[in-house]
Amino acid sequence: MKVNSTHRITVALRMAGIAGQDKLNGIFEHLSEGNRWQLSIFRSIHEFTGETVKREIERGTEGFIVGIPGADSALSALAASETPTVIMNVSGIIEKRTKNIAFVRSDSEAIGRAAARELLKQGVYRCFGYAGYRINEDWSRDRGRAFRDELEKVGRECRMFDFAHFADKIENLATTTEWLNSLPKPCGILASCDDRAFEIVNACRQAGIKVPGEIAVLGINNDPILCENSDPRLSSVQPDFIQEGRLAATILGRMLSSESYRRRQRGNVYSIGVRQIIHRDSTRPISEAGLLIQKALAYIQKNATKGIGVQDVARHLKISYSLLNLRFQELQRESVYETILNVRLETVRAMLKSSQESIDAIAEKCGWSTPASLKKIFKQRFGTSMRDYRSSFIG
């Protein structure tokens, strides 16, 4: 989208970790496409206050992108404002505002599910655990529940170490050590964030528990400072923070250029999931069966939209059709066909979100011989038509 005039925009993002930096990079990606904004950038709750919000509005700010947790006075001022605003991963009083506002959030459930599937794929763990955040945060609870639910769907046990189960004892090293010692080993643990994963690794070291030999640890955020300096180095799930920033900027840009679009933003929530999962030293080497699955998934990811079938995957791996399906059912808990179909449908959804190509063109590019068959499968799987899905994402 090209904008002819320069807009004055206020951006408030916490820059202490990789999340805020990546979100800002996403905003700059939006601007690099010819969108002309004059930015005022604030980096902490000390800079971004209620007075800051009032002052920026008086100076002619036309829109806000805000992602600083704990900036209560600023959020109160924004809640009383009608200036177009996009809120990123922040909750509180601002959620009561329903005019000229949208919310962009990391999809905590998608993150938890992806982590569970990744650890399952390694095929070496007797049980799994979730180490929640030190304080009672919604995003930590949601990640843990999704992780546990995904494991329980395939009959695997997940032992929780969070506020719902240990309350304030979650910050107690003795309690943490007792929990780690109680886990059947080898065990795969998801920590709610890299900070928490760093603490779990240190607790294992003090307790004489080998990482990853006895306990594997997977963090979230892929913060290079923490992940590369942990001993051992931390594996981590990387949410797509760059896409979150880009989407926030896109939504705000549309709010500024279209009154009808702005009126439709009445607290709409847009979620972005996982960018990638980075394996370092804190997760175990993959079993032979797990390695086979990884090779199969890589081939499927690359070729699913070319119309491949199960036999193509088996031929590529030089194994029998029956053995391939057996391994998938053991580790993936779904058939090879279902995996291929899921990749194709996720590609369709991504294209509906990010491109203006026709539905017929998307069907052809994703390996369907006729658009009608794709439309039918899409409606069955997601409960909505492809056209309505595209419209609901960013209007």
Question: Looking at residue 89, what is its pLDDT?
Answer: 93
Q: Which long-range contacts (CB under 8 A, 24 or more apart) does 91-96 make?
A: 91/138, 94/66, 95/267
- Mean pLDDT within 287-292: 78
Q: Indicate the pTM of the whole model.
A: 0.75
Angle at 9 between CA 5 and CA 14, to 5 degrees: 150
**pLDDT tens digit sequence for 155-206:** 888 999 998 888 888 888 999 999 999 999 889 999 999 999 999 999 999 9
- What element of type H or E holds 87? strand 85-88
**pLDDT tens digit sequence for 87-142:** 999 988 999 999 999 999 999 999 999 999 999 888 778 899 999 998 878 899 99
3-class secondary structure, 301: helix
**pLDDT tens digit sequence for 20-49:** 999 999 999 999 988 889 999 999 999 999
Torsion of CA 298, 302, 307, 310, to 10 degrees: -10
Residue 286: band (very low, low, confident or very high) from pLDDT cuts 50, 70, 90: low
- Mean pLDDT within 67-73: 93
Instruction: Answer whether residue 329 shows pLDDT above 90.
Output: no
Instruction: Quote the CA–CA distance of 285 and 283 in Å, as a whole number.
Output: 7
Q: Which CATH architecture has domain 7-106+240-272?
A: 3-Layer(aba) Sandwich (3.40)
Residues 119 and 125: beta-carbon distance below 8 Å? yes
Same fold, 7-106+240-272 and 288-394: no
Instruction: Answer whether residue 330 shows pLDDT above 80.
Output: no
Among 203, 206, 189, 207, residue whose Cα is nearest residue 282: 189
Angle at 19 between CA 13 and CA 24, to 5 degrees: 50
Residue 78: band (very low, low, confident or very high) from pLDDT cuts 50, 70, 90: very high
- Mean pLDDT within 298-321: 92
User: Where do the domains of the chain lie?
Assistant: 7-106+240-272, 108-239, 288-394
Among 127, 198, 193, 131, residue whose Cα is nearest residue 162: 131
Return the percentage of the chain with pLDDT > 90, whole number: 74
Q: What are the backbone dihedrals phi and psi of residue 47, each rounded to the nearest 5 degrees, phi first?
A: -85, -35
Instruction: Quote the CA–CA distance of 220 and 225 in Å, as a whole number.
Output: 13
CATH for the 288-394 domain, from 3.30.465.10, 1.10.10.60, 1.20.1250.20, 1.20.1090.10: 1.10.10.60
DSSP-derived secondary structure for 211-232 = TTTTEEEEEES--HHHHHHSSS
Instruction: Answer whether residue 296 shows pLDDT above 50.
Output: yes
Instruction: Quote the CA–CA distance of 11 and 28 in Å, as a whole number.
Output: 11
- Tell me the pLDDT of the chain averaged across its residues: 91
Question: Looking at residue 3, what is its pLDDT?
Answer: 41
Kindly indicate whether the domain formed by 108-239 is annotated with CATH number 3.40.47.10: no
**pLDDT tens digit sequence for 334-360:** 899 998 998 899 899 888 887 778 999
- Tell me the residue ranges of DSSP E strands in 150-239: 158-161, 187-191, 215-220, 235-239
Residue 259: band (very low, low, confident or very high) from pLDDT cuts 50, 70, 90: very high
Instruction: Answer whether residue 246 shows pLDDT above 90.
Output: yes
Question: Looking at residue 394, what is its pLDDT?
Answer: 64
